[in-house]
Each structure stands twice: as structure tokens, then as C-alpha cells.
Amino acid sequence: MSTGSTSKAAEAPPLVGKPVMLGTGADSQGVRIDADVITTTITRALAIRRVLPRHEELEEIEAELRGHLRLLIPAVPDAGRARAAIAAAELDRGPGPGLQSATNHVQLLALDCRWLLRYLGREGEGR
């Protein structure tokens, strides 16, 4: 998985469905975040079990999760900044050289997204 500026990981996923406004505190501008789309991506990432997916599928899921985290991290109020920093560190760490390390990385990004959505009170909104 590449982290260069021309990779899929650099592109934010399209937001569909019913976006909600998050992050209306002093630190943020108010961001449109679709909790249903994010929850669907989290479910895909955490469904990976014994049989590892193709590398291309992991790249796709990672790109989506990166986009979601780029929206969620700035929306977290001060009380959640420590956990947001952990998520940012995982983004910086990258997937590693092998399929297992890439799978672990994707699942950690999914857990970060899930925690941030829960913290913001938006997980599964609209379902």
C-alpha cells in the first residue's frame, strides 16, 4: 500500500446517504460526516478473520478509513484529543510490508474510527 500523494489512500471517499454535522466546537469548522458510510467501512474492515483478503481490497478499505479519519479527528473536542492522537499515529505508521501487517493496520484504523464515532455519538446514525 502506497502512502504517496498519487495513491488511492490520499483521496477521501465520497460521502453518500445522510451526512450529519459534527465538530461544531471552537476547534472545528463543522464537518459533514456520514456515520452510516463510516460504519459500513468499519464493518468491512473488522469482518476480516482467518482468510486474509487480497492486497487490493485492503488498499481500498485503508483508503476509505484514512478519509474517514481525516474527517473525524479534527471533529473531536478537547476531551477526546488523546484518543484522536492515537488514531493519527496509526495513520502515520502505515500498513507495513506484509499482508498480515496490512490487515492489522486496517483493523486498527477501523477501531479508531469506531471509537471516534462513538465518542461523537454518531455510530450507526440513520440505521
Residue 41 domain-assigned? yes
The count of structural domains within the chain is: 1
Domain carrying residue 107: 8-120
pLDDT at 124 over 80: no
Residue 82 domain-assigned? yes
Asked if 78 and 87 count as a contact pair (C-beta separation under 8 A), the reply is no
| Cβ neighbours of 42 (radius 10 Å) | 24
3-class secondary-structure state, position 21: strand
Residue 61 domain-assigned? yes
- 17 phi-psi bin (left φ>0, alpha ψ -120 to 50, beta other): left
List alpha helices for 33-80, DSSP H.
35-46, 55-75
Residue 72 domain-assigned? yes
Q: Helix, strand, coil: what percent of the chain each, to 5? A: 60, 5, 35
For residue range 65-117, list pLDDT tens digits in order.
999 999 999 888 877 888 889 999 999 998 888 999 999 999 999 999 999 99
Amino acid at site 67: G
Q: What is the dihedral of CA 52, 55, 56, 59, to 10 degrees?
A: 100
C-alpha neighbours within 13 Å on the C-beta side of residue 108 = 19
Residue 1 domain-assigned? no
pLDDT at 16 over 80: no
- Provide the pLDDT for residue 77: 81
pLDDT at 19 over 70: no
Residue 3 domain-assigned? no
**What is the spatial distance between Cα 108 and Cα 92, in angstroms, rounded to a whole number?**
12
**What is the spatial distance between Cα 91 and Cα 52, in angstroms, rounded to a whole number?**
21
- Provide the pLDDT for residue 11: 38
Q: How confident is the model at residue 13 (pLDDT cuts 50, 70, 90)?
A: very low
For residue range 23-78, list pLDDT tens digits in order.
444 344 566 788 999 999 999 999 988 888 898 999 999 999 999 999 999 888 87
